[in-house]
């Protein structure tokens, strides 16, 4: 869990995915090459953005994931979901 107040609640993210038409599907491995990764200036981790795949193709849903270093491991938190 993140202590950040602007992070979306997990229930809201789940609802947004369930209301989106179609079925979430796993992307091909090559799709991860399009992931945007932004390192935090203080070296504490990364913000990652990735298009979710629906019905075997990229959708217009973007998931944001916060990844922070703790005890030499990255800990991931779903941060937000949006349609640009």
At 10-61, the pLDDT tens digits run 777 778 778 889 999 999 999 999 999 999 999 999 999 999 999 999 999 9
Helices (H), the chain: 10-19
Residue 56, CA atoms < 13 Å, CB-side half-sphere = 0
Structure token pair of residue 14: 């789940």
1 pLDDT band, cuts 50/70/90, is very low
69 versus 10: the higher-pLDDT residue is 69
Q: How far is CA 52 from CA 5, 23, 42, 49, 69, in A?
A: 24, 10, 28, 10, 24
């Amino acid at each position: 869990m993140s202590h950040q107040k602007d992070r979306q609640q997990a229930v809201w993210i789940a609802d947004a995915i369930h209301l989106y038409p179609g079925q979430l599907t796993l992307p091909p491995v090559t799709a991860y090459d399009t992931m945007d990764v932004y390192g935090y200036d203080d070296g504490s981790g990364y913000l990652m953005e990735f298009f979710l795949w629906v019905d075997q193709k990229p959708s217009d849903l973007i998931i944001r994931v916060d990844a922070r270093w703790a005890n030499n491991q990255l800990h991931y938190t779903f941060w937000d979901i949006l349609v640009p």
